[in-house]
Amino acid sequence: MNGRRDTVDMEKLLKELAVELYEIQAVKFGEFKTKIGLKTPIYFDLRVMISFPKIMVKLAKTLWTLHDDCTKVSQICGVPYTALPLATLISVEEGIPMLIKRKEAKSYGTKKLIEGVFSLGDCCIIIEDIITSGSSILETVDILKKEGLSVTEAYVIIDREQGGRKYLESHGIKIKSLFVITQFMQYLLEAGKITPEIVKNVDDYLATNRAPSISIRGVRDDRLTLSYGKRAKLATNPLASKLLELMDSKQTNLCVAADLTETDVILDLANAAGPHIAVLKVHVDIIENFNNKFILRLKELAKQHKFLLMEDRKFGDIGNTVSLQYTGGLYKIAEWADLITVHPVSGLSVISALKKSLEGISEPRGIFLVAEMSSEGTLTTGDYLKSAISMAEENSDLVIGLVCQSNLSAQPGLLQLTPGVKLTKSSDGLGQQYNDPRSVVNAGADLAVVGRGITEAPHGYLKAVLEYKKELWNAYEERISVGNM
């Protein structure tokens, strides 16, 4: 009998909570757009609960009744930001340690994404307010798992019943929710808060609208689990496809940074490294004896050894200036560089200008947008980072990837180029931070940029190139094998 009474008491409590959430305008009816861009006739804004502490405490206590055995829970983690106060209340009331996932990594110190004290293997429960696609939860889960935590469950206030639960469960995450949206609507109808017409409108909407499959920052999926050869067939940019095929056939994901000042030295490096690399990166504006013969010879070596040329100009000015820098001047970069790097700081106009500049170029070209940098104290964080990702994903006919330090896009046709790689983690005393080959590949790198680790190697270029090539390729093979287990 106790089980039935508990069920009745719980339903009574949920009806009360549904009405209370309606009365504080945590649920609204009309025409709205969700975080992932879906139009919806019903919108939940649970952030308002922070102005109603009694309701917030009630929600937190009720949410925690979803657990089966709290003795097995080592940590809880609220998804930023709405779920953070709920997780805090549960942590304090139940005496369970809490973790906080940062919106972005700190740009200084430890650069942590997770705040709190934990041990490898700790069981962590995710706390969330609403699920639509499930992307926020899965992003949080992925980051926690990378830190060695065990995450298999998430407790949610409202499931919008638009595919998020199924998507998360397909990734091994069990979802427990206080409400599903259809039952929530029935509670409000029974309480006389909404009309049958509103219920029908929402039911019709749910019957025909599911959350889209979207790219999720930090989530280990197709881009990281598919081989370069398979991804080459999915790329929308011809040069991205060519590069992925080249990497697959040569079995290399090494980009050598020839940041040198003498043409003969660069050519010697290109000839020695060429058979073993995918890309050779240069800075033409630091070369002291630049000339056209140098470019012709560099192109010959690229063709002979089958690697691409990248000019690391990091274009970032207004459209007209960028166009002139790309096509004209002493270097005429557009005529010989397969790839260039571009700062998205000036917005979409920089991409439009570069596209227009290529109208007279017959060979395929591509650009890497600089989303993150490897230098200490970099400002490429927050909204800037998010905008860079969007620009890359929406312009993949020219953008072939992102220069970054972490897995930012799930699109298999986009490549991640990660600079700052050495065999051991270190820094150069001038702000440059170095990571080892395995860690950058595990963090999402498709192409790893190695400069001084090769150009300043005491035992010569070739031995160093072969060493980096082996380490990086082994890490890539491990990554795709783990992803397909």
The answer to whether the beta carbons of residues 230 and 224 sit under 8 Å apart is no
The answer to whether the beta carbons of residues 448 and 440 sit under 8 Å apart is yes
Q: Is the dihedral of CA 186, 192, 193, 199 positive or negative?
A: positive
SS3 69: coil
In the structure encoding, which two tokens stand for residue 12, read together? 């009574």
Catalytic residue among 61, 242, 314, 332: 314
The CA distance from 209 to 38, in Å, is 8
- How far is it between the farthest Cα atoms of the chain? 91
**Which residue ranges make up the annotated binding site for substrate?**
259, 281, 374, 432, 451-452
Alpha-helical (H) ranges within 191-340 are 196-208, 222-225, 228-232, 238-250, 263-273, 292-305, 319-327
Strands 123-131 and 415-418, bridge-based pairing:
unpaired
Catalytic residue among 299, 317, 355, 386: 317
If you search the block for the tokens 């005393």, which residue do you land on? 429
The CA distance from 57 to 376, in Å, is 41
| Catalytic residue list contains 314 | yes
| DSSP secondary structure, 239-277, as one string | HHHHHHHHHHHHT--EEEEE--S-HHHHHHHHHHHGGG-
The answer to whether the beta carbons of residues 288 and 259 sit under 8 Å apart is no
The CA distance from 351 to 339, in Å, is 13
If you search the block for the tokens 């740009």, which residue do you land on? 107
| Catalytic residue list contains 317 | yes
Which positions are catalytic?
312, 314, 317
